[in-house]
A and B are shown apart, each in its own frame.
Chain A
Amino acid sequence: MTYRLTTGNTILRLADNAFIPPDPANTDYVAFLDWVAAGNTPEPSPVVAPPAPLTTEQKLEAAGLTVDELKTLFGL
């Protein structure tokens, strides 16, 4: 049995991709704590790269505008 930390406070059990909440009454979480107490270490949380920021063109497109329309709007 192996585990992976997540970006939140839940634990991912890799055998069945089960998300385990840090509730002491949850038997799966108790099993995880026992596993750690036995000297095991969970895999670290994956580093999630932040999404790339939108370009100006993408922002315009998302707003339903074109560059020409914007120029017209501002009288340019």
Chain B
Amino acid sequence: MSTIKVTNLQNPSASSAALVLNTDGTCSQLGVRNAIINGNPIINQRGYVSGTATSGANQYTLDRWRVVTSGQSITWTDSGNVRTVTAPAGGVEQVIEGINLITGTYTLNWTGTATATVAGNAVAKGGNVSITGGTDTTVRFSSGTVSLVQFEPGTVATPFERRSYGAELALCQRYYFAKGEGVELAALTSSAGVVQVRSHSSFPVNMRAAPTATYTYTDNGNMNTEYGPLTGTSGVILRTGTYTIGTSSALGTYSNLKFTAEL
């Protein structure tokens, strides 16, 4: 057994190293590095339309990205499955959950003309910042184009990390989940008297916190005012109001269900 001691592995024809071996024994290019979620922001569960003015401060648009100033918007162009966003003057930002950060030096890199801050401090492309582990940290881009955002441990900006669409979507769903299918709650004719119909739905991934829920609810007239969903981090209980079963069945339908546990 022998040890090869080098600092970089680089093709002679390449302009940068394919692998940089750090002095602390780690290699920045290995493992899941990018703490930014939806860094190539093609995931859009909210169905945000490019150029739509926001109606409130810190309104979320593309998954995990929020427009800071009310009334401003983001626009984008797509090319080769790379989405380039134009950030407004007030900025578009992502809050990285502290649980995903470990104390140390991080490097921020992106493509485009936008300027950036991390926790309010200006950072140049490929610039380093010191991060306190466990602390929510905001990365903001302003007044220019931005794509392929990467915020990674270490002092070297490495190539943008490619994650599968499914993996990236799952990461996003920790913070926001839009349920595509409606949920019907039915009670058949019965002599059971007063009942309340409930149904449990699991989330695709556990959410960061018990989420806030919005929805549309309709019924066939036999169910009275619904009591609203009961959410936990792993799922939701949908319920009707209490009602008296008469001689006809009752049917309540939840649709357009959206769950938010953003930072």
Contacts and interface: CB of A to CB of B under 8 A. Distances in A.
Given A10-B230, A27-B262, A52 B214 contact: no
Contacts, number: 80
A60 to B, nearest CB: 8
A28 B224 CA distance: 27
Nearest to B191: A62
A48 B210 contact: no
A21 B210 contact: yes
Q: Say which size band chain B's interface belongs to.
A: 20 to 34
B247 A62 contact: yes
Contacts of A68: none
B190 interface: yes
A25 interface: yes
Given A26-B209, A26-B261, A50-B194, A58 B229 contact: no
B228 interface: yes
B212 A54 contact: no
B245 A25 contact: no
Interface in A17-73: 17-21, 23, 25-29, 46, 48, 50-54, 58-59, 61-63
A20 B260 CA distance: 10
- With a 10 A CB-CB cut-off, give which of B189, B191, B242 has the most chain A CB atoms: B191
B231 A19 contact: yes
A53 to B, nearest CB: 7
Describe B's contact surface by its main secondary structure: loop
A52 B244 CA distance: 7
- With a 10 A CB-CB cut-off, give which of A13, A23, A29, A58 has the most chain B CB atoms: A23
B211 A26 contact: yes
B225 A27 contact: no
A2 interface: no
Closest 10 CB pairs of A and B: A25-B209, A51-B244, A23-B210, A21-B210, A62-B191, A19-B228, A28-B212, A26-B209, A19-B213, A18-B214
24 contacts: A6-B227, A8-B227, A8-B228, A8-B230, A18-B212, A18-B213, A19-B214, A19-B228, A19-B231, A23-B210, A25-B210, A27-B209, A28-B260, A29-B212, A48-B224, A48-B225, A50-B194, A51-B194, A51-B243, A51-B244, A53-B193, A59-B191, A61-B246, A62-B247
Interface of B: 189-191, 193-194, 208-214, 224-225, 227-232, 241-247, 260-263
